[in-house]
Structure 1
Amino acid sequence: MNKNSPSQLGVIEGFFGRSWSWQSRVSYADFLASTGFHYYIYAPKDDAFLRKHWQENWPDIRFSQLQALRDTYRQHHIDFGLGLSPYELYLEPYPERNLKLIKKIRQLNQLQPDLLCLLFDDMRGDLPHLAKIQCELVQCAAEHSSAKHIIFCPTYYSFDPVLEKVFGTRPEDYWMTLGRQIDPGIDIFWTGPKVCSTHYPAEHLQEVTELLQRQPFLWDNYPVNDGAVKSNILQLRAFDQSHSELQGKIAGHAVNPMNQSWLSRIPLMTLPQAYHEGPAYDPHQAFVNACHLLCGPALAGQIIEDIALLQDTGLNKLSAAERQALIKRYQHFPNDPYAAEIIDWLNGGYQFDPACLTE
């Protein structure tokens, strides 16, 4: 990946709740290659071997699945990444914490990832010397990983006050320490003004660039819908106009999609278009075009007609009659994966995971 090209776009499967099937992950290689994306990062929150049980090895079957997945992405010229969340590793004494991390990195090297993400989100952060310890661990990972690109996610990855509410008071000079001590060749994830930001003002990105002493690598929490509120909606609309203005302001752009893999393709298809078209980008027309290209004219027309119910009203506010009416509408598209996910969602197939704390 050329980190000097901020239009490098990718998908990070990094949400809570019901994860994608292996078939969906495999099929995304072709989708990403055909729509202008450059990488996929495997980091599902329900893979315990990357999170709370990260020191254990994957079962042989899972490891073989990951090898096959990597090979599929390579065949499509899409970079393959892994997201490791070494849960509370920074509580371990030195040098034991480094030795444990090195052991895991060597296992991950067997998958020959193009990208390695070291993720310290979703962990407590009100600890002395947090930044210093995390910097040491990032450097340790970089020294022992075979990946050509390292991205670090700090515990506090936004100015959003919800992070301190959930994970404790951010240590003084946390971001400034990261900026000074982490090698400038390593990127740092950032979600914007909020955990789930809707836009990224130029002045905000400039402030973060100065704070981290590098342009932020955007972790875009749209269209993800794994939170207590957003699990009740399907975020299908196109990326908004502000995304067409990001070129030159960020180091890269990783999108966290919805639990619904097929429906996520509708908004995802519009992001490369936003970059390509710039000021001429029309989000509504991009949404309409994506629906037609992906779903065919009949289903596209139905989704476009129902978008306010699906994305604005949502499950909690739909009456029982409205929900049943919607189910009947989409049952007219049997064996269609997009319609099937809408029906599954309407039937309560995607339950909120209370482990998601930061919406």
Structure 2
Amino acid sequence: MLPERRGVIEAFYGRPWAWNERHSMVDFMAEVGFNAYLYAPKNDPVHRNRWQDPYTTVEWTRFGQLAAHARRAGVEFIFGLSALAFRYTDPTHLAVLRAKLRAAQSNGIRSFALLLDDIPSRFENSEDVTAFPDLARAQAWLANELLADVDEAGEFYFCPTEYHGSGNSAYLWALGATMEARVRILWTGPDVCSPAISAADLRGVTDALRRTPALWDNFPVNDLDMQHDPHLAPLTHRSPDLLPASGGYFAAAGALPAASRLALRTTAAYLRRPDRYDPVASFQEAARASTATAQEAAAVMFLADLARRSPLVPRDQALHHSLWPAIDAFWAARGGAPASAGPDVPGRPPPRPVEADEAPLRQTVRDMELHAETLAHLSDAALRRDLAPWTAKLAGWARVAKYALGALDHPHDPRAREYVLEELALVRENFHWVAGDTFDTFARRCVWAAEAQAEGAQP
């Protein structure tokens, strides 16, 4: 059974989406089956840091246009309210939030979310300490006050300050006991970015909150320390029994909306049929649906294989890409990698038996060049722009590998070895993650092997 609300959240740290990107996201959501859009970008200062500032008339017009577009598309637009250092005993603070809520309503918005995540878990004002028994009851009071201004046709969500974990805490039990039943509470699962979520993970928090939480799934969001990982991958490790145990499902998108849509397509597929969801097949379909040709789809999937690091991938599997057999076959054809080059890449998968052959790796390097060229000229300009840093990294590693092979093929040319090391330094300036140190290690091994050949051939 589909959850009632299947949403996308714009709530990352970093440059908020442009208005045209938001409208494009609404169209995409309607296409694949999402029906709610939660607006809450952390770096919109009037939303969060300077929440007491009013939005301009221009901005409210834009919000109204987006809400109207969403309504026509069958998507509920949910306006996020946040308040850093909110003073619960100061009536002017409540008045500011109420005024913002009512201004949104006057622009056609009927659903809201109060977001108190990523703030101190204690009172910041001494007067609040004496007025409320604890932070949970103060937040519940605030949510209930705002809820009173929301029409029955609208929805109201709340993101608590404690929004992940086992769910069994005095804070959550107090929220559940004092917050109006109509308030839907958001929950990210066992972790901020949960590697896996099942119905069992929601039992404790459901008991504490006295309601089934709406999931805020932090995938494919890639902000803060994840900004160099594209999260160009399918949703995984969400059990089929999860959706009936939740009160809605929201996927947190990243700052690159076109790139996020690849993963969001797989989330939509999971939401439609969780019992039959196939992550690999869903991502292949997402790549085809997001590109204009089979060649473009293949290039996207090639990049995704190499840039696989994400919270959904175990840390010890981030380097488990598909190129290792070709690399291992290459060195097997040469009697093994030079021992003088040091150990292999930490975290690589265990070597498997391969047939000694240099050809597959040489072809892989040519394929890397072609895929990088294809990605640099994707038909979808927005996707091309979003993937550009990772495309540049892929192209850089292709050059490094090509130069490394050239150094091996011309061992008597010391300048060829210097080219490899110079290019390595340039490529490593780009911190966007593509295959980790796979090609750095390969190239250095080639330099060592070329030096050994040159020395061995000397009289």
| 1:311-326 pair list within 5 angstroms | 311-312=308-309
Identify the residue that residue 226 of structure 1 maps to in structure 2: 223
Are the aligned partners of 1:102 and 1:141 in contact in 2 as well (CA < 8 Å)?
Answer: yes
User: TM-score when scaled to structure 2?
Assistant: 0.67
Structure 2 stretches of 5 or more lacking a match?
124-128, 310-317, 320-345, 347-364, 394-429, 433-459
Give the aligned partner of residue 189 of structure 1: 186
SS for the counterpart of 1:225 is: coil
Q: Identify the residue that residue 143 of structure 1 maps to in structure 2.
A: 148
Check the 8 A contact 1:9/1:38 in 2, yes or no: yes
CA pair 86-200 structure 1, distance change in 2 beyond 3 A: same
1:156 equivalenced with 2:145 (yes/no): no
Instruction: Map Cα deviations across residues 279-324 of structure 1 (whole Å, 9 max, x no partner).
Output: 321100000011001213221101112213223369xx9xxx99x9
Secondary structure in structure 1 of the residue aligned to 2:255: coil
One of 113, 125, 134 as aligned partner of 1:117: 113
Corresponding residue of 1:341: 386
Is the alpha carbon distance of 1:98 and 1:5 closer, same or farther for their aligned partners in structure 2, counting shifts above 3 Å? farther
Which residue of structure 2 aligns with residue 33 of structure 1?
30
Query: TM-score, normalised on structure 1?
Result: 0.84
Distance across 1 between alignment mates of 2:74 and 2:379: 33
Whole-angstrom distance in 2 between the partners of 1:92 and 1:134: 8
CA contact (8 A) 2:215 2:247 kept: yes
Report if aligned partners of 2:262, 2:286 keep a CA contact under 8 Å in 1. Answer: yes
User: In structure 2, which of residues 227, 232, 237 is the aligned counterpart of residue 236 of structure 1?
Assistant: 232
Which is higher, the Rg of structure 1 or of structure 2? 2
Question: For 2:65, what is the secondary structure of its paired residue?
Answer: helix
How far apart, CA to CA, are the structure 2 residues paired with 1:87 and 1:67? 25
Distance of 1:145 and 1:29 partners within structure 2:
23
C-alpha contact 2:295 2:374 (8 A) present in aligned 1 = no
How far apart, CA to CA, are the structure 2 residues paired with 1:78 and 1:47? 22
Shift of 1:262: 0.6
Change over 3 Å in CA distance of 1:43–1:102 after alignment to 2: same
Cα separation, 2, equivalents of 1:67 and 1:243:
37
Tell me if the contact between 1:12 and 1:255 (Cα under 8 Å) persists in the aligned partners: yes
The secondary structure found in structure 2 opposite 1:131 is helix
| Residue type at the aligned position of 2:76 | D
- State the distance in 1 between where 2:217 and 2:16 align: 18
Unmatched segments (≥5 aa) in structure 1: 162-169, 353-359
Instruction: Write the deviation string for residues 88-130 of structure 1: whole angstroms up to 9, x where unpaired.
Output: 21x3424444333322322222233232000011211123521
In structure 1, the residue matched to 2:340 is none
Aligned residues: 331
Q: Classify 1:270/1:334 alpha carbon distance in 2 versus 1 (closer, same or farther; 3 Å).
A: closer
CA drift of 1:32 comes to: 0.7
Contact 1:327 1:343 in 2 (8 A): no
Deviation at 1:7, TM superposition (A): 4.7
Structure-1 separation of matches of 2:392 and 2:150: 43
Cα distance, 1:47 vs structure 2: 1.3
Change (3 A) 1:75 1:247: same
For the residue of structure 1 that corresponds to 2:55, the secondary structure is coil
Q: Secondary structure at the match of 2:281?
A: helix
Moved more, 4-13 or 284-293: 4-13
Higher relative contact order (CA 8 A, sep 6+): 1
Maintained 8 Å contact 2:21/2:257 = yes
Higher mean alpha-carbon deviation, 99-108 vs 40-49, is at 99-108
The one-letter code matched in structure 1 to 2:277 is Y
> SS of the residue aligned with 1:82?
strand
> How much does 1:329 deviate?
4.4
Compute the displacement of 1:187 (Å): 0.6
Correspondence 1:107 to 2:106: no
Cα deviation for residue 327 of structure 1 reads 5.1
**Identical counterparts, % of pairs:** 28
Aligned mates of 1:351, 1:186 — CA distance in 2: 42
Distance 1:257 1:107 in 2: 26
Residues 1:291 and 2:336 are matched in the alignment:
no
Question: In the alignment, residue 113 of structure 2 is paired with which amino acid?
Answer: C
